[in-house]
A and B are shown apart, each in its own frame.
Chain A
Amino acid sequence: MRVLMRGNEAIAEAAIRAGCKCYFCYPITPQGELVEYMARHLPQQGGVFLQAESEVAAINMVYGASAAGVRTMTSSSSPGISLKMEGISYLAGSRLPAVIVNVMRGGPGLGNIAPAQGDYFQATKGGGHGDYRLIVLAPSTVQEAAELVMLAFDLSDHYRVPAMILADGMLGQMMEPVELPEPVDEGTILEKPWALTGAEGREPRVVLSFDLDPQGLKEMNLTLQRTYREIEAHEVRWEEVDTADAEILLVAYGTMGRIAKTVVRLARAEGIRAGLLRPISLWPFPYEPIRALAERIPVVLTVELSAGQMWEDVRLAVEGRAATPFYGELGGVVPTPKEILSEVKKHAR
């Protein structure tokens, strides 16, 4: 049955259905409905909802709950995510699974509460200190947001890598019909042989993100890197729209991804053969699919709500095979399909 839900609410409900047992948060706009939904519904399902004293505390509570072996999540928006970066680095270093939701808003600094995509670098290149990655999934519809939250918990458990849902204020605030995923069968959630459950009848376990011996820390890092290579090999996700005969390829994710779909339709109505590649996993990034398309499509136009952060990855993928113009909006301004269409016209032959 389809229900009409806000993105923020669908993310929260999907987390509960994914078996999230502990959710820690600090209020911030534009993800307030996510916090409120969890406060109302998670305790009813036997889970823990706790409003922490800060984003820093919230992510460290996630760290503790994850170490205890339960599925756990926190959510915030850009400035709050910056505060969480310390804890996220520790999660990555300690190989603790967790899901972090970033409903992005305008930045830098306090910025504003409008939708933006200025946290792409922070999300996909590590964000905190040290050599680590997050699995980053970018939904473009409320339906996809719910599905990717379920996936994020599974991937995070499987690889022991924290996963981030990178949404934005528009997706968080808007309502769409959503077919909610079935709740997971808790019996199918991965065993966690590293979890801290008390050392009764077994050797004590430790969860650490450090090793003062450089050789030891190198080994820890190599384990992370091997995991990242495996994720790159198996978890790249993207969507293509009308790419078969395209003469210009748009690359856009999240909210811009869905707006770009409208642009493709408008362009084709005017005889311009536009296509779209929408990355769903921002890390691992779909370098190969974009490279393959750039072999035959002469123009690859990146469209973002930023000054061109994903654009760098698109250019790394294209590597000179096609022209790589960029169109972006800043500060929370969201371009209309018509504005982007005129940009498409500028670059199409």
Chain B
Amino acid sequence: METGVIFAGFGGQGILLAGKVLARAGMDQGLEVTWLPSYGPEMRGGTANCTVILADEPVGSPIVDAPRALVALNGPSLDRFEPKVAPGGAVVVNSSLVPRPVRRKDVREIPVPVNDIARELGEPRTINMVALGAAVRALGILPLQAVIQAMVEELGERGRKRLVEVNREALARGYAEAGRFLA
């Protein structure tokens, strides 16, 4: 079983870190994981993205044809990746910035105003963790606690310990927000 997730947005929105925290949480839970940043021809268009795969067997291709979840933090990312999402997959949309709803009817739309939530938390840089929290709920593969733990380790290694608490809150807020749209 392989689960692919695409995180996409503007450069600077913390997309790559969100993906890395998810991959790290998966690894810590004993899964096989890959993390592939936007790279090569995919860098055109001014968006940053990364692909994370969580699997119970070694991962072959780190490229995902049909992600089970998409986290789109801006409009161009939704335009570009919405068509790729697997039927039944989840699309976490940053409703603070994306002016349109998800067009496809065969995917689960999870609109989360991540910029507004991050602002409420007093730390605009937490938008990536708000979005990740929502994605974790939508995926239902990893416990939120494992993702929080991975975030704590990651920020600790980057010398950002003082941001741990607000990011913990951000993950929890995103997780709770997504719950409103999921049965």
Interface residues in chain A, defined as those with a beta carbon under 8 Å from any beta carbon in chain B = 2, 4, 30, 106, 112-115, 141, 169-170, 173-177, 258-263, 265, 331-334, 336-338
Contact = CB atoms under 8 A, between A and B. Distances in A.
Of B23, B32, B60, most buried by chain A (CB within 10 Å of CB) is B60
Interface in B18-72: 20, 23-24, 27, 32-37, 39-41, 58-63, 65
Given A4-B24, A174-B62, A114 B36 contact: no
B27 A170 contact: no
A50 to B, nearest CB: 27
Interface residues of B, number: 20
Given A173-B39, A177-B27, A334 B34 contact: no
B21 to A, nearest CB: 10
B33 A176 contact: yes
Nearest to A113: B40
Given A4-B20, A112-B41, A169-B40, A175 B34 contact: yes
B41 A332 contact: yes
B24 A114 contact: no
Residues of B contacting A: mostly: mixed
Contacts of A263: 60
Nearest to A335: B63
B20 A261 contact: no
Interface of B: 20, 23-24, 27, 32-37, 39-41, 58-63, 65
A174 B40 contact: no
Contacts of B36: 170, 173-175
Find the residue from A106, A115, A175 having the highest chain B CB count within 10 A: A175
Given A4-B20, A4-B24, A173 B60 contact: no
Nearest to A140: B60
A106 B32 CA distance: 29
Contacts of A115: 39-40
A333 B41 CA distance: 7
A175 B35 contact: yes
B68 to A, nearest CB: 16
17 contacts: A4-B24, A4-B33, A112-B41, A115-B39, A115-B40, A169-B40, A170-B40, A173-B39, A175-B33, A175-B35, A176-B34, A258-B60, A258-B61, A258-B62, A331-B41, A333-B41, A336-B65
Contacts of A333: 41
Contacts of A332: 40-41
B137 to A, nearest CB: 22
B81 to A, nearest CB: 14
Contacts of A30: 39-40
Given A2-B27, A114-B41, A169-B40, 8 more contacts: A115-B40, A174-B62, A176-B33, A261-B58, A262-B60, A263-B60, A333-B41, A334-B40
A112 B33 contact: no
Contacts of B60: 258-263, 265, 337
Nearest to A168: B40
Contacts of B40: 30, 106, 112-115, 169-170, 332, 334
A331 B44 CA distance: 14
Contacts of A173: 36-37, 39
B27 to A, nearest CB: 5
Contacts of B24: 4
A265 B102 CA distance: 32
Nearest to A261: B60
